[in-house]
A and B are shown apart, each in its own frame.
Chain A
């Protein structure tokens, strides 16, 4: 079955370290997204990519970086510049239009 795979499910990071979250999709979708979820705040857009080798900042991009070298993959790096990285991170992708918007199962990042 097609879908989005996020790994790992749980991630612990020491302060000052960079960490990379993986997102892979086999839906042949062009557009991919990273959202951050905090309790009581819904989801907020970090970065998005509409095509390979191109990506754009979302609403809360500071302290994060991404790459899009392959259509299937859109990894997110949480850098040491992100002041409050503890959160639940969700990756999504969509095909043509907004019909096929699909979310992964998320990665919970905790800074220790």
Chain B
């Protein structure tokens, strides 16, 4: 079955520390991969996406993610976290041939940032 797993429900990091959010997926073929961020009561903002090519993807707000096919992973990283990064982060996968391009989401990882 197609699924996305974000193993960490909640992560707390200190401001200025590095961050890695994990994402593993199960899919029939290499899907399109996304990371979104959501502030409380708001919609989803796209951080970055991977479709093909270079497996290290740069996104907005200093985030990057690396696609590792052998591990079916797409982990999100940031070298130095800012207090404004506190939010919920969702990993998602999708394909055009699957239900009109629907996205399958992980359960989300809530990030807290300590001063």
Contact = CB atoms under 8 A, between A and B. Distances in A.
A42 B107 contact: yes
Contacts of B103: 43, 45, 92, 101
Interface string B69-97: 00000000000000000000010101110
Nearest to A102: B46
Interface of A: 4, 6, 31, 33, 40-45, 48-50, 56, 58-59, 88, 90, 92, 94, 97-99, 101, 103-106, 108
A97 B107 contact: no
A92 B8 CA distance: 26
Question: Interface residues of A: mostly helix, strand, loop or mixed?
Answer: strand
Contacts of B44: 43, 90, 103
A97 B52 CA distance: 13
B102 A108 contact: no
A40 B107 contact: yes
Contacts of A44: 105
B32 interface: yes
Given A42-B106, A42-B108, A101 B96 contact: no
Interface of B: 4, 9, 32, 34, 36, 41-46, 49, 51, 90, 92, 94-96, 99-103, 105-108
Closest 8 A/B residue pairs (Cβ) = A42-B105, A105-B43, A103-B44, A103-B43, A43-B105, A45-B102, A48-B100, A98-B32
A40 B95 CA distance: 24
Contacts of B46: 101
22 contacts: A4-B43, A6-B43, A40-B107, A40-B108, A41-B107, A42-B90, A42-B105, A43-B90, A43-B92, A43-B103, A44-B105, A45-B99, A45-B102, A59-B99, A90-B44, A98-B51, A98-B101, A101-B34, A101-B46, A101-B101, A101-B103, A106-B42
Given A41-B107, A42-B90, A42-B107, A33 B102 contact: yes
B101 A31 contact: yes
Contact of A48 (B4, B90, B102): B102
A59 B1 CA distance: 13
